[in-house]
Structure formats: C-alpha cells, structure tokens
Amino acid sequence: MAGLHSVGLGVGTRNGSGDWLEVFYPQPLLAPSEALQTVLSETLAYSSGNRAIELDDNHLETLAGALSGSGHEDMAAVARSLKGSARTPVITILASDEAPQSVPEVYLKLHLLSHRLVRPHGLVLDGMFGLLRNIAWTSEGPIDITELPGRQLKARLEGRTLSVDSVDKFPKMTDYVVPSGVRIGDTARIRLGAYLGEGTTVMHEGFINFNAGTEGPNMIEGRISAGVFVGSGSDLGGGCSTMGTLSGGGNIIISVGSECLIGANAGIGIPLGDRCTVEAGLYLTAGTRINLLDDNRQPVAETKARELAGKSDLLFRRNSLTGAVECLTNRSAVALNESLHANN
C-alpha cells in the first residue's frame, strides 16, 4: 500500500436525516506509519482512496487490539474510549491530499491545521464550503439549523434553556483543539482550522480565520483573514485587518513577514516582507499610489503598492500635510515584549 496522507479516529454528530454535521478527532496523524497502514488494511478491509468509515463497537475493539501492538497505544486508547458512544464513531483515511468530498474529510483537514501538523496553504480545501452545513453551535452541541426550533422547544419543556453561541459553518477552534503555549482572550473569535504558533497571544478583539494563523510568537489584536499567515515576532495592532482572498484580495496571497507592525486600525491588501511597518489608520490596497522617499525623506518616484509586495524593511505612512501615502526605509525593528508572551 502506498503511503497514506493522514488518518483521524474520532466521533461525530449527524442530523435527523443522517447527514454529517461535524467530527472531533482527538489525535489526528499526518503521514501514518506503515504499521498503522497494515492495521487499517487488515482490520477495516481498507485498500485505497479517501474514505470515512463508520465504526461499531466490534470494529473499535478489534481496532484497539491491533493498534496496541503497532506502537499506537494513544490511538488504541481513543478507540476504546469511543465504545458505546452516543454519537457516531468514525475513522477518516486520506490516501492523498485532494479536494475533500465529505464532511469528515473537511474536519480532518481543519484539525490537521489547528494541531499544527500542517501550515496554512499546505492542504487542498477546494469545495469545502459546499460540503459544510450552516449549524447552530449550542450549549448542547452542534444542531442542524432546521432542527433548532424543535430542540429549543424540547429544552424549554424540560425546564432548560438551550443557548445558541453562534450560527456558522465553522465552530470555534478551542471546542476541538487548544494548542500549547498560547493565550486567547475570546475563544469565539478563533475558528477551527486556524494555526496558532507557540507563543501567540490573541487579545479580545483579535480574530483568526481557518487556513490562516501565526508562526509565533505574535501579538494579535487585529483580524487575520482566511489564507493569511503572519511571521514570527510580528504585532497586529488593535482593529487592524489583513485582506484575505475571501474578502476581495483576488489571487494575491496576503502574508506578513517577521518582525512587522501593522498599526491600530490599519490594514493591508498586499503581502509584507520582514521588518515592515504600516502606520496606524493607513489601509494599503494593491492599487494605493505611493510616493517613494530617499534617505533625505525626499520623493524620488511614484508607484502602486502592489509593486512593493513582499519587500522588506519598509515603512508606510501618510503625509500629515498633503495626505499622500509615502514609503521609506524602516530603520527600526519590532521587538515583542517577552513578558507578555510567556504563555506557559
């Protein structure tokens, strides 16, 4: 059998029609060992392709016994813990990284990102939105939005209040994965599929979308849109934003290099290199006209922001007298406060 891409053993929720809503994988594996592949082949009759296989208690017992002898005791323990579950146990096997064809495949890939096994843009996620349902994420777990009124009435009749935290296709990351060495002020603002590197601090106004994140350490008080990755040591100020491909960035992949500062209420629609600074309140789009200044702070040329994409050591500011956007060499580097990033 050719080497598999990834495997996840977990438990999921279905709606009343039997359609998958979500899946939780406690310990997803990237590039599983040959021993594990042999176990999957022999115990589940798996041969090839990307598959999500529902498991009953007999499957789980057989799988747990086989895994115990293959060096995968942690996964064996997960298999045993799923016996008798009120929700559906499932194992998802990805033979290769292709566009997902099922909800269990989507959730396995989102877990791989949030477990830091794969960085943003490291997985094929094409077509995932068409597979995911809009779900009510509640105090009693995920509920199909069409079934929510009945569940709310049932709870009231039983003397309970069913609290709806959000209505979205994505859950919050921390209901599935809590990475080590991070601080998160408001967990509702981090979606499953976000990648938070060691030493990342996300303050209450910070937001990180799926397939996006930080290398760590970082201070995040602004918005990291889908597809955006922020390099180590960079600081996103309060209320600032990064333009993702979902919000009009086209085919340009927006990223932020190392030791950058995006000021409060600023924003970028171009990728930044290392050690760049964007003045507070300044939003750079690809078409923003910029005056280039020499070492004497004198204008020498005019260009559009897209021509400076990915270049390092730049300071972007607005001239307080003329209102023109200017760019000059950034002579100061951003240094994060180490005490603020002690997230152990």
What is the set of active-site residues? 221
Is 214 within 8 Å of 239 (Cβ atoms)?
no
> Which residue type, as a one-letter code, is found at position 143?
I
Partners of 224 in beta bridges:
208
The DSSP secondary structure of 181-236, one letter per residue, reads T-EES-GGGBBTTEEE-TTEEE-TT-EE-TTEEE-SSEEE-SEE-TT-EE-TT-EE
> Which residue type, as a one-letter code, is found at position 177?
V
Residue 135: which H helix or E strand, with range? strand 135-138
> How many angstroms separate the Cα of 201 from the Cα of each of 4, 167, 184?
34, 26, 6
What is the edge-to-edge ordering of all strands in the sheet holding 229-230? Answer: 194-196, 212-214, 229-230, 255-256
> How many angstroms separate the Cα of 127 from the Cα of each of 52, 103, 133, 172, 280?
17, 11, 13, 20, 36
Is 26 within 8 Å of 18 (Cβ atoms)?
no
